[in-house]
Every structure is written in C-alpha cells, then in structure tokens.
Amino acid sequence: MRKVKVSARRVVHKYVELDVFVPNTIKDADVDEWLTANADTYDWRLENKFIDAKYQKGLGINIPIGMYDREADEEYRYDIIVDNAIQLGGHL
C-alpha cells in the first residue's frame, strides 16, 4: 500500500449589514470620512453581528454589489440609501 495525501480547500465568508445614523450636517461626499473618524461608535456592533452570522460558501464577491476585492481578508463599504436606491457609496 502507498500513502496518498488528499487535500481540500473550502472558502467561506460571513456578511453583515448595519444601519448607522450620520448627522444631517454631514455632506454626502464626506460620509466616508465621518464613518472612518467615528468607527468606534459602531464597529463593536458590527463585530457582534459577525459573531451571530452564519458562514456561507464562497468568497462573498459582489454580495452586495461593490464587494469585489479577492485579495482582502476583510472588506468594508458604505451605501447612502435614498428612496430604497443607492445614491452614493464606496469602500471604507
């Protein structure tokens, strides 16, 4: 008998969403800067959501549209929603 090693790799991800309330005085073009500067007000809530989130198979690319960095271990983005449509968004 010969010994043969069988290997496998399975990629999984978790995805969560969180509503963050940004002051009305912040312009849309400055929301990313506000979110970055105030991450301590919501990042723990994201972490708690990740604890409860279920693993899903795959890289999670484009879930939602805009998550596309295949090299990143983590990816964060924001989307400004107006009348149920994305008005502006981007990576954090």
Domain annotation covers residue 53? no
Domain annotation covers residue 49? no
Domain annotation covers residue 7? no
- Dihedral of CA 29/33/36/37: which sign? negative
Distance CA 18, CA 78 (A): 10
Q: Binning pLDDT at 50, 70 and 90, where does residue 1 land?
A: very high
Domain annotation covers residue 4? no
Domain annotation covers residue 76? yes
pLDDT digits (tens, 9 = 90+) for 39-86: 999 999 999 999 999 999 988 887 767 787 888 888 888 999 888 888
Domain annotation covers residue 1? no
Range of the domain at 28: 18-44+60-91
User: Domain tally for the chain?
Assistant: 1
